[in-house]
């Protein structure tokens, strides 16, 4: 299987933020190791004039997901803080759009589609296929992929461009299997490599 980005494709870069990378408040183990692969895919998408969307957690400081407010997570990705910034090694394309999520104190938002903005951006461009990369496999990547499938997009998760939290050791593997079981595809970034 070889893949070439088309203008009606979208690359969704999920939450490659400082707080989800080593040294951050809610670090995904080796989360930063995906960045060279992600950057290579962003450049390929850019060359094809495919749409590139970056999602980011953009929490208010009293978000319900935080342990201090009854949630299960440490404080992370608070609006306007360095932890909420994209990782400095991530290539942020000038062609890209940024979608903020989990901006409401009272609502969790793992999926990038939990705001209507992402779906609207994709529909306006006539997107048919979405390719998903980023953090974390077992939470925001999984939920974004499952919503994309539900919304009728042909959905691919690029396995070597995602990493998981793995609260339980097999959480990421189970997440990818759930995506497959719902009709998504899990592929390697190498499917792009032979295409010139």
- Of 57, 101, 138, 147, the active-site residue reads 101
What is the residue range of 62's domain? 9-192
Helical pair 142-150 and 171-181, crossing angle rounded to 10 deg = 10
User: What is the distance between the alpha carbons of residues 100 and 18, in angstroms, rounded to a whole number?
Assistant: 15
* Within a domain: 1: no
* Within a domain: 105: yes
* Within a domain: 137: yes
> Is 142 assigned a catalytic role?
no
Q: What is the pLDDT along the chain (196 residues), one digit of tens a residue?
A: 778 999 999 999 999 999 999 999 999 999 999 999 999 999 999 999 999 999 999 999 999 999 889 888 999 999 999 999 999 999 999 999 999 999 988 888 899 999 889 999 999 999 999 999 999 999 999 999 999 999 999 999 999 999 999 989 999 999 999 999 999 999 999 998 754 4
> Is 77 assigned a catalytic role?
no
* Within a domain: 80: yes
- Of 9, 19, 140, 147, the active-site residue reads 140
- Of 9, 15, 57, 138, the active-site residue reads 15
User: In this structure, what DSSP letter does residue 140 have?
Assistant: I
Q: What is the pLDDT of residue 35?
A: 98
User: In this structure, what DSSP letter does residue 57 have?
Assistant: E
Q: What is the CATH number of the domain that holds 69?
A: 3.40.50.850
Q: What is the pLDDT of residue 195?
A: 46
Q: What is the pLDDT of residue 108?
A: 84
* Within a domain: 98: yes
> Is 123 assigned a catalytic role?
no
Stated pTM of the model: 0.96
Q: What is the pLDDT of residue 194?
A: 58
What is the count of structural domains for the chain? 1
* Within a domain: 26: yes
User: What is the distance between the alpha carbons of residues 39 and 195, in angstroms, rounded to a whole number?
Assistant: 17
């Amino acid at each position: 299987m070889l893949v070439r980005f088309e203008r009606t494709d979208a690359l969704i870069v999920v939450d490659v933020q400082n707080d989800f990378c080593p040294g951050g408040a809610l670090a995904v183990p080796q989360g930063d190791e995906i960045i060279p692969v992600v950057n290579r895919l962003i450049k390929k998408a850019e060359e094809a004039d495919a749409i590139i969307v970056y999602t980011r957690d953009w929490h208010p400081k009293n978000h319900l997901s935080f342990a201090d407010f009854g949630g299960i997570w440490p404080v992370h990705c608070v609006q306007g803080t360095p932890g909420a910034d994209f990782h400095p090694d991530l290539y942020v394309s000038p062609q890209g759009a940024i979608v903020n999520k989990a901006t409401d104190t009272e609502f969790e938002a793992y999926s990038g589609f939990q705001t209507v903005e992402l779906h609207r951006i994709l529909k306006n461009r006539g997107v048919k296929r979405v390719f998903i990369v980023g953090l974390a496999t077992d939470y925001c990547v999984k939920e974004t992929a499952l919503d994309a499938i539900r919304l009728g997009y042909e959905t691919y998760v690029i396995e070597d461009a995602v990493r998981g939290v793995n609260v339980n050791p097999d959480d990421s593997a189970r997440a990818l299997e759930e995506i497959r079981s719902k009709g998504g595809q899990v592929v390697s970034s190498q499917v792009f490599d032979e295409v010139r």
